[in-house]
Amino acid sequence: MHIETLRVFCDIVELGSFSKTAEKHLLSQSAISQQLAQLEAIHKCQLVSRKKRPIELTKPGKLLYRTAQEMLERYELFKSELNALKSSSSFRLNIAAIFSIGMHALPDYVKRFMVNFPNINVHIEFLNAEKIYEQVLAGEVDVGIVACPKHDKRLTVYDFEREPLVLACSPKHPFASATSVDLHKLQFERFIAFERAVPSRMWIDGIFSQYNLVVRPVMEFDNIETIKRAVEINSGVSILPKATFVQEVGAGTLCAVPFSNEAFHRPTGIIVRKGRVLAQAGRYLIELLHEGAAKR
């Protein structure tokens, strides 16, 4: 049984057509049918129900399809690592992170990673959470890093840093001189929030709900940087991860005030497509991120 035969079988399933598979592999439709028949003869079972359209897998066919996908992915990984050994240059590790994590939390980990894998071509892209999930599931990104990770049976999620959440306000705001502030006081403030579809907005709304608090935003943005700019000009207050505006606090353009109620945090996570086989460097990066965050 050859790798290419398994590749043909997977394409039959994914394209749902013998003719399209034949066209993709530059073979005749008869040759594609023969390769499927060969697989069925080897395993002594029917893999595809030929009477149904579109093509439908039998139970043994579904089992072979899952196994074939894993084998092909492992084989592609083997070829990548073999080429790296032959060429003395290494393969590329694709990482996608939301902007706030990529800018503030990730750099220190990447520096530590490069000490052990100096020849790895690390490509980091800043994307919104929705795009990160999409690209991780499509196999275009090896590792994704998001805030408030959602559970999906197609993904493996590892814990990353729990980011302390604090009140962000202008130095001109009355809260700026407070040592702490009661969350309930936000009900009477002009509040600048994330847009509703942003996971961090949902998380913060959950905190408000726990305290039976209703806060009506006067502005909504899809990213932290824009929220910070609005808070700096005293258009309102917001709740942000403390690490994301350390520079502004140091420059005196923003103030970070803790809450008196309790210490609030925003969870972040590392996402990888379930079943994806990562090279040694990718596995090390996940271990570094996961274990480093656990120590904080």
Q: Tell me, what's the pLDDT at 55?
A: 82
User: pLDDT 10s per residue in the chain (296 long)?
Assistant: 588 999 999 999 988 888 999 999 999 999 999 999 999 999 999 998 877 777 889 999 999 999 999 898 888 877 766 765 555 445 788 999 999 999 989 999 999 999 988 888 899 999 999 999 999 998 889 999 999 999 888 999 999 999 999 999 999 999 999 999 999 999 989 999 999 999 999 999 999 999 999 998 999 999 999 999 999 999 999 999 999 999 999 999 999 999 999 999 999 999 999 877 777 888 899 999 988 777 66
Residue 187, CB-side half-sphere exposure with 13 Å CA sphere: 11
Task: Residue 152: count other Cβ atoms within 10 Å of its Cβ.
Answer: 14
Largest CA distance in the chain: 79
Q: Tell me, what's the pLDDT at 88?
A: 44
Task: Residue 2: count other Cβ atoms within 10 Å of its Cβ.
Answer: 9
Any idea where the domains of the chain sit in the sequence?
Answer: 3-87, 92-146+270-294, 161-267
Whether residue 166 contacts residue 243, with contact meaning beta carbons closer than 8 Å, is answered with no
Closest CA to 81 of 68, 92, 69: 92
Q: Is 144 exposed, middle or buried (0-12, 13-18, 19+ CB in 10 A)?
A: buried
Q: Tell me, what's the pLDDT at 290?
A: 87
Nearest 5°: the CA angle 271, 276, 280 is 90
Q: Which of helix, strand or coil describes residue 265?
A: strand
Q: Which helix (H) or strand (E) holds 241?
A: strand 238-241
For residues 192 and 168, give the distance between their C-alpha atoms in angstroms, rounded to a whole number: 10
Which of the following CATH numbers is that of domain 92-146+270-294: 3.40.190.10, 3.40.50.2300, 3.90.1150.170, 3.30.70.260? 3.40.190.10
Q: Tell me, what's the pLDDT at 75?
A: 86
* CATH of region 161-267: 3.40.190.10
Q: Tell me, what's the pLDDT at 81?
A: 67
For residues 119 and 92, give the distance between their C-alpha atoms in angstroms, rounded to a whole number: 9
For residues 125 and 109, give the distance between their C-alpha atoms in angstroms, rounded to a whole number: 15
Q: Tell me, what's the pLDDT at 139?
A: 86
The CATH architecture that domain 3-87 belongs to is Orthogonal Bundle (1.10)
Judge whether 3-87 and 161-267 match in fold: no
